[in-house]
Amino acid sequence: MPYRITRKDSLHLMGVEAMFFPHEGEKIAALWKRFITRHVEIPNAVNQPPLSLSRVLAPDNRFDYLCAMQITDPVAPPDGMIQRSLPPAEYAVFRHAGPVATISQTYLQIFENWPVAGRNFHKPPVFLELFLPKYDRATGEGGVEIWVTLQPAA
């Protein structure tokens, strides 16, 4: 599976978050609908498409999932939202070209082809889903990049 490795500076995000089990795509879609109705409330939002942040936090593979906008600086979030900051990190970046409803297939390919360039996931792994500029929320098509944090190089 093709990928690239890139470094990203600190990242500040704000949005709505919930905990999910794998294969709860319909619940994630509902969280996105809730986020889209409220994203205009986010202060200091960067004029870019929304993104998500997820982290596997439990042995049963439950993960938290944040639907978010990037913000320029950390600030207090509106009621019902949270703010998260990520430190600078290196990421393996994979492209999901199909409909977002099939993104779990791309995640399976990432895990099946790991490690990349002899590097492992950061523990716990952090995943960003960056929606490309041509992404269409109505159809779920247009491309998504999956960014996976890497452990520092030896």
- The CATH superfamily assigned to 4-149 is Regulatory factor, effector binding domain (3.20.80.10)
Higher pLDDT, 128 or 143: 128
Read off the pLDDT of each residue in 12-30 and give the average, rounded to a whole number.
Answer: 90
Lowest average pLDDT, out of 34-38, 42-46, 59-63, goes to 59-63
Q: Domain spans of the chain? A: 4-149
Instruction: State percent of the chain over pLDDT 70.
Output: 97
Read off the pLDDT of each residue in 95-101 and give the average, rounded to a whole number.
Answer: 85
Question: Rounded mean pLDDT of the chain?
Answer: 87
Phi first, then psi: give them for residue 2, nearest 5 degrees. -65, 145
pTM, rounded to two decimals = 0.88
What are the structure tokens assigned to 13, written together?
């995000």
Higher pLDDT, 154 or 130: 130
Model confidence at 58, pLDDT cuts 50, 70, 90, reads: confident
State the residue for tokens 């929320």: 137
What is the number of residues in the chain? 154
Contact 100, 130 (CB under 8 A): no
pLDDT at residue 59 is higher than 80: no
pLDDT at res. 154:
67
pLDDT at residue 79 is higher than 90: yes
Read off the pLDDT of each residue in 142-148 and give the average, rounded to a whole number.
Answer: 89
Read off the pLDDT of each residue in 103-121 and give the average, rounded to a whole number.
Answer: 80
Contact 15, 71 (CB under 8 A): no
pLDDT at res. 102:
84
118-137 per-position pLDDT tens digit: 778 777 778 999 988 787 77
Task: State the Rg of the chain over Cα.
Answer: 15
